[in-house]
Structure 1
Amino acid sequence: MAITGKTTVTGIIGWPVSHSLSPVLHNAAFQALDLDWIYVPFPVAPERLAEGIAGLKSLGVAGFSVTIPHKVAIIPLLDQVTPEAELIGAVNTVVAREGRLFGYNTDGIGLIAALREKLGCDPEGKRVLVLGAGGAARSAVVSLAAAGAAGIAIANRSTDAAVALAHLVGARLTATRCEGGGLASLADPGFMGSFDLVVNTTSVGMAGDSFAGLALSSLAPGACVYDMVYAPPVTPLLAQAGALGIPCANGFGMLVAQGEAAFRIWTGATPPRGCMEGALAAVL
């Protein structure tokens, strides 16, 4: 693709950012749609975030992704954020419109899309167990509740963090019953038997580690397991689910779906089906 003075620039900010796979996703979609756009990494140190955002705005960058460690710190620097991003407390996608910056969070959109496409699982009416209470968990709990989950239980090493997240989301999205607790209950068949879906939002599994005593065999009939981790493609959690015949999927689909959502926000166009997924699979 030739870059000219008319090329529209997008990108990603983070620190570091050289490892990001987002340029692979978006540049493949730009090429597939023959759009004169490009997506590049912008390394922005935390102490220079305000300068970096001002620079991107001044240069006319059309939009950008936001990754660690800027997802929370960027919010005060934006002109407006969506209600979902405000509740999640993090932004991963920014679009520039008429000199103003608008923040979104597409992680939750990606999760719900991946659940429906990869597992045929619609969260509406489901009882969900979310593992973890960090930033990814917050996005997951908000999106699952917004999608109509009947109940969400959050299990985390820090019980206080799980309870706090449950209270935060439950107070705003009152149609979903939210509760928080520790990890000890994961070994209780009676506790596990009430869930239709398990979502791992933690890094457990990246290094071959697992949740001790997790009683997946006690899940409700027809239950599914989703692991946000995508490298390795088969974590111990997914291996256990697969051995039990439980439908399961890794975070690959979520990564692609959140990228597709960001692409639509910037361009108003939808990437060709399978375009981003194929490009990502080629490098993974």
Structure 2
Amino acid sequence: MTVTAATRVLALLGDPVAHSASPEIQNAAFEAAGVDGVYVAVRCAAADLVGFMNGLARAGGGGNVTLPHKEKAASILDDRSEAVRRTGACNTFWGDASGRLCGDNTDVEGFRRALRSFLETDPRGIRALLLGGGGAARAALLGLLEEGADEVLIYNRTPDRARAIARRIGGPSTRVVPMLRELAGEGFDLVVNATSLGLNPEDPPPLDLTMLPRVGAAMDLVYGRHTTAFTAAATEAGVRTTDGLEMLVQQGAAAFERWWGREAPVDAMRSAVEATQGV
């Protein structure tokens, strides 16, 4: 990679960012696509977010936003995508020709692409259980509804958080389950773990899958070098399962497409992800 004065600079903004695989993924994509760009990770405090986003965008670049700044980033934008408006979060930004700061939440598109790839069938009409109440759950809920899920039940340890995302994004197809025991006897085509449980190898699963008489597939949005308790339990129960690596690749691919206006080299990005995880 040769960096010149004409090279576009794109950056991941968040705190922390040292753990992120995004620089490896995006720089592999830039090289494979033959575009003149470089991607770096920048530890960024909330007070500095406006300056970083505007400065990068006005200089012809852009980037991604990660925890804990996605909601603040959404409030900074001049032009918000439908996904940003509905989820209240922005994870991808760039500048347009008129100098406006534009943004999207490619977590939604990344989830949709990963879901279709995993299920290998049309998700329309499925009945899903969504575990979680944070940003990942918002993206997954919007993705499920946009893919035509017939019904989505949401469970979170803090019911008010589940109700908040249901009010913001859901509708008649969405129902909050306030108590875990209320899920006993329920069957689902898909169970999605959008909680943070699993980031630590010692974390327990967010749900005992044996309490559900039918689970068609299980999708964990957590990824890492270890197998999470959720995916291990699903495998033991004979349920098809996947982790969050493909969503990571696909949201990165969607971001690449926003910045460069061309199809992302997904195979190169997937190979880069697998290399960072020792796959």
Q: TM-score when scaled to structure 1?
A: 0.90
Paired residues in the alignment total 274
Counterpart amino acid of 1:215?
T
Tell me if 1:198 matches 2:197: no
What displacement does 1:160 show?
Answer: 2.1
Counterpart amino acid of 2:213?
S
Match of 2:235, SS? helix
Counterpart amino acid of 2:208?
G
Counterpart amino acid of 1:14?
G
Tell me if 1:27 matches 2:20: no
Match of 1:240, SS? helix
Change (3 A) 1:217 1:160: closer
Tell me if 1:278 matches 2:271: yes
Q: Does structure 2 conserve the Cα–Cα contact (< 8 Å) formed by 1:75 and 1:91?
A: yes
Specify the alignment match of 1:92 in structure 2: 91
Counterpart amino acid of 1:94?
F
What displacement does 1:206 show?
Answer: 2.3
Change (3 A) 1:142 1:273: closer
Specify the alignment match of 2:44 in structure 1: 44
Deviations, residues 40-96 of structure 1 (Å, cap 9, x unaligned): 1232211222222333244x1422111111100112221111122111010000121
Worse overlay, 148-157 or 43-52: 43-52
Match of 1:143, SS? helix
Specify the alignment match of 1:152 in structure 2: 152
Match of 2:170, SS? helix
Root mean square deviation, CA, Å:
1.8
Q: Does structure 2 conserve the Cα–Cα contact (< 8 Å) formed by 1:74 and 1:91?
A: yes
Q: Does structure 1 conserve the Cα–Cα contact (< 8 Å) formed by 2:87 and 2:168?
A: no
What displacement does 1:239 show?
Answer: 1.0
Q: Distance in 1 between matches of 2:41 and 2:94?
A: 16
What displacement does 1:161 show?
Answer: 1.9
Counterpart amino acid of 2:196?
S
Match of 1:179 among 166, 175, 187: 175
Q: Distance in 2 between matches of 1:197 and 1:216?
A: 14
Match of 1:230, SS? coil
Tell me if 1:264 matches 2:257: yes
Match of 1:12, SS? strand
What displacement does 1:216 show?
Answer: 6.0
Q: Distance in 1 between matches of 2:272 and 2:179?
A: 37
Change (3 A) 1:262 1:216: farther
Q: Distance in 1 between matches of 2:70 and 2:47?
A: 14
Deviations, residues 151-187 of structure 1 (Å, cap 9, x unaligned): 100011012222232232234xx5xx10012352376
Query: 1:201-212, aligned counterparts within 5 Å?
Result: 201-207=194-200, 208=202, 209-211=204-206
Match of 1:199, SS? strand
Q: Does structure 2 conserve the Cα–Cα contact (< 8 Å) formed by 1:228 and 1:251?
A: yes
Q: Distance in 1 between matches of 2:254 and 2:126?
A: 24
Q: Distance in 2 between matches of 1:180 and 1:201?
A: 15
Change (3 A) 1:258 1:164: same
What displacement does 1:214 show?
Answer: 3.3
Q: Does structure 2 conserve the Cα–Cα contact (< 8 Å) formed by 1:119 and 1:249?
A: no
Q: Distance in 1 between matches of 2:15 and 2:199?
A: 21
Counterpart amino acid of 2:136?
A
What displacement does 1:233 show?
Answer: 4.3
Change (3 A) 1:197 1:95: same
Percent of aligned pairs sharing the same letter: 38
Match of 2:196, SS? coil
Specify the alignment match of 1:254 in structure 2: 247
What displacement does 1:3 show?
Answer: 0.8
Q: Distance in 1 between matches of 2:38 and 2:19?
A: 18
Q: Distance in 1 between matches of 2:73 and 2:214?
A: 39
Q: Does structure 2 conserve the Cα–Cα contact (< 8 Å) formed by 1:12 and 1:67?
A: yes
What displacement does 1:212 show?
Answer: 5.0
Q: Does structure 1 conserve the Cα–Cα contact (< 8 Å) formed by 2:9 and 2:56?
A: no
What displacement does 1:256 show?
Answer: 0.4
Q: Does structure 1 conserve the Cα–Cα contact (< 8 Å) formed by 2:177 and 2:183?
A: no
Q: TM-score when scaled to structure 2?
A: 0.92
Specify the alignment match of 1:213 in structure 2: 208
Specify the alignment match of 1:69 in structure 2: 68
